[in-house]
Structure 1
């Protein structure tokens, strides 16, 4: 069965001739940006080449977490934790948010020490994140037979339903006047006097003053056609969901060989955070030096393979005009095959650590393409080389939980308003201004 079952969002029938801002991409980042802009009174058109949330925004784990993030993301995620509890009321729809906590397993004394160091980053934001051992750990993770030393538990963390959230946010943006246009790929950005003046979509032109590219794994390809070099690669993660399973933990859990979180239907989303597949493609060589620090940092978690994806991307056109049918129309949804081997290995590891999972039946599985930057920190930024053009992408597998706050920050940058957090760590220019670009574990 291809992809998760996402709440459908119908397209508006008419293409507006002019708006203030065009948002490209109907994932949670694009939808959140559109909602923020529409709430500020701007006319917005959200253009999605396929359907709302049909790629990584519905294929992720559904974690809403601040724990174990890169310290540069913590201020923005703290803002997201303030937004999520009110999203049901704000959108008028169910997003499935529950504050249930997340536990990161600690297998050694070094793990305990490192996680205690990370917890120091959360304290200035009044987030309680602490290492639990013994009975305190068992109280949060009943039924755990993994034999770990303890775990980092952050009670402020939670979960939501990826197949519900972005559609709810998109519909809320429409309620506030935004145009939601699905199966409407943006082909090119038009300029006048050196700045953005509109876009050309497959359904016609839309005049505008600003564009926000929130295209996920497609952002590098679109940017390149506009003459903007965005360093971004893709990694693939396999995910499964189980049938309802009684007696499992309420809090989410991450360990070396598996991770899980409870779903609204009583089942669990289960995945492996330590096995990410990296297809070797032409961009792997073009961007090798930019990604070398990330490779050295994460090499244990990466599985490189050379297969059909190389030829697919090698044959993908990188230049086109507004009159051409683009790659975005030729592939409406990235729907890669999940790995049966990874699923079996992951579920077996979960069942060994938590015997309750020995009863689990896989109801569905899927895979998703994660958009990754060299430092695993997103770009949320204006692009100085093209006034009026903005990028919100590269969330590196961390985008779902942080999405509502990322949309808020992106909208504030477009509006020229005081930002909710310092946008400096997310600037596009860090890739070219001599900054050291590398991941940071926070310990």
Structure 2
């Protein structure tokens, strides 16, 4: 089941040419398209399914700097600035609220991680601070958990994944961007090693540049071109509650639960200490590159072997422009929510904050994230093909940094001064 998103009236016409084609209508691709259109550059966005149908509408909506690796913090700061003016920019409420984010530590052994991060970003003046158990009780009253402490960033916030991508898409359309749903791009057209167009299931569109912002699907698209982007899938299961009074407007992440207030008055809840890990062929091909991430995280991953693996193996990894692509086999990646993980989330949360006892659950869903070995995305040119840029591999952080990531991709496409230093995101680092 997928969350219901605000509608977008996309194009039914099929253009034969443009300047830039964006592959993928998630928040990063849409923001890049809007940025390019604001600069007077013609853009066509092609989406194999529907606008924001996958992780861009299924995430938690957190907009945070806290906990980001030091090289990624400048991107988060830039995204903060863009989120603050996004509603004005697109002419619609995207649900952005700067209400703060807090992480909790159950034991003293968990606190050094927060202390080390705070030291690593001390020069950036983020306003983050360590919390005592008394501080937590003051900021989030009514709790019964026993906490060693925590960390809190008051300037962090949230936006609504079911509102923001649609609002950005509608604003882009008003600026002249053509968005076409249910139109998969099979491959690139090349001339002398340079992009000359894209081949879709409906025909070819000539263009000068292509931005690949296809999230989970980017690895397979690039692999067909002989380009490697290491990403593996993880699944997050999510709960949406009915409107209710809650203990705080602050988004709270405990070791084994999280919650944040929604614009509709309910809460978004997850089991923060558990992610689904459906085994795929890629685990055999590149899994060793992730071993460092698993140290001390054995309980985090709920590994499964089932139809996801069979579906993955059955889909082609090489195809031609006249062949049906994997993106036509699966229009929308819609993994089922894990009922056991969601039940754990509610048990753990109600034990810590009894105010959530009796919560009415209105909706559950799951989303599949594309995780890189260093949890940083790849944003930049693909050296093998001139005129081809990638912005993928956001590792569950794409919504929060999406506005800045999309603008960075647009900057790199046009040769403009980058909004942040792109060096940490070079595809070649892999």
Q: TM-score range by the shorter chain?
A: over 0.9
> CA 1:116/1:164 → structure 2, altered by over 3 Å: closer, same or farther?
same
Paired position in structure 1 for 2:51: 52
- 1:134-145 to 2 correspondences below 5 Å: 134-145=133-144
- 1:40 and 1:125 map into 2 onto residues whose CA distance is 30
**1:163-207 C-alpha deviation (Å, 9 max, x unpaired):** 111111111111111111111111111100111110011222111
Determine the structure 1 residue equivalent to 2:232.
233
Residues 337-376 of structure 1 correspond to what in structure 2 (within 5 A)? 337-376=336-375
CA deviations 1:322-360 (Å, max 9, x no partner) are 222222122111111101111111101100000011121
1-side partners of 2:344 and 2:272: how far apart?
A: 12
Asked if 2 retains the 8 angstrom alpha-carbon contact of 1:78 and 1:125, the reply is no
Matched with 1:405 is 404
Distance in 2 between residues matched to 1:156 and 1:121, nearest whole Å: 18
Structure 2 stretches lacking a partner, 5+ long: none
* Residue-by-residue CA offset, 1:58-88 (whole Å, 9 max, x unaligned): 1111111111112221110010011101000
Aligned to 1:242: 241
1:427, CA displacement in angstroms?
A: 0.3
Is the contact made by 2:133 and 2:146 (CA closer than 8 Å) also made in structure 1?
no
Whether 1:119 and 2:124 are equivalent positions in the alignment is no
Which stretch of structure 1 is more off in the superposition, 35-44 or 77-86? 35-44
2:35 matched residue in structure 1 = 36
Please report how far the alpha carbon of residue 283 of structure 1 lies from its aligned counterpart in structure 2 after TM superposition.
1.0
Root-mean-square deviation (CA), in Å?
1.3
Question: Hey, what's the Cα distance between the residues in 2 that align with 1:251 and 1:89?
Answer: 23
Provide Cα deviations, 1:71-119, integer angstroms capped at 9, x if missing partner: 2211100100111010000001111000000110022333333313312
8 A Cα contact 1:237 1:276, kept in partner: yes
Q: Which runs of 5+ in 1 are unaligned?
A: 432-443
Counterpart in the other structure of 2:283: 284
Mapped contact 1:43–1:178 kept (Cα < 8 A): yes
Q: Which residue of 2 aligns with 1:100?
A: 99
Matches within 5 A, 1:36-185: 36-185=35-184
CA distance in structure 1 between the partners assigned to 2:192 and 2:347 by the alignment = 60
Contact 2:370–2:393, Cα closer than 8 Å, also in 1 = yes
CA distance in 2, matches of 1:345, 1:212: 39
Q: Call closer, same or farther: CA 1:180–1:297 in 2, change over 3 Å.
A: farther
Q: Does 1:382 align with 2:384?
A: no
- The DSSP-based 3-state class of the residue aligned with 2:298 is helix
Q: Distance in 1 between matches of 2:229 and 2:68?
A: 23
Aligned counterpart, 1:199: 198
**Deviation, structure 1 residue 130:** 0.2
Checking the alignment, whether the CA contact within 8 Å between 1:9 and 1:51 is kept in structure 2 is: no
Structure 1 residue 24 corresponds to structure 2 residue 16 = no
Moved more, 290-299 or 313-322: 290-299
1:134: how far off?
A: 4.2
Runs of 4+ in structure 1 displaced over 4 angstroms? none
Once the two structures are overlaid, the 10-residue window that deviates more, 8-17 or 413-422, is 8-17
